[in-house]
Amino acid sequence: MRKTALSLGSALVLCLAGAMPALADSSLPQPHGGPDVLGTGGTAGGGAGGTAFTGSNISLALVALAILVIAGASLLALRRLRAIGE
């Protein structure tokens, strides 16, 4: 049970660490008076083209964390297989 809780906790930390770059640039929408109405040839505000921020800047620490979690899960699986074989 302890190993399962440790694995789930590690997976949760990895998911949160992966989501942090995307959450860092998020903000709540500003309230406005009503719906955007487009005239002839008009565009809604805010969209100037380009690429949306997706949190693609992955730090070296995040890559190291992912490698450590994968290595730990692999070692747990190998230990369990080894215990079954004995």
Structure confidence by residue, pLDDT tens digits, 45-86: 555 555 556 656 677 888 888 899 999 999 988 888 777 766
d(CA 62, CA 5): 21
Please check the confidence at residue 41 and state whether its pLDDT lies above 70: no
* Tally of structural domains, the chain: 1
Q: Give a yes or no: residue 46 inside a domain.
A: no
Q: Give a yes or no: residue 70 inside a domain.
A: yes
Cβ-in-10-Å burial (0-12, 13-18, 19+) of 23 comes to exposed
Q: Give a yes or no: residue 86 inside a domain.
A: yes
Q: Give a yes or no: residue 66 inside a domain.
A: yes
Range of the domain at 73: 59-86
Q: Give a yes or no: residue 76 inside a domain.
A: yes
Render pLDDT for 12-27 as a digit per residue (tens, 0 to 9): 888 888 887 777 766 6
Q: Detail the DSSP E strand segments found in 34-81.
A: none
Task: Work out the pLDDT band at 2, boundaries 50, 70, 90.
Answer: confident
The per-residue pLDDT for 40 is 56
pTM (whole model) above 0.75:
no
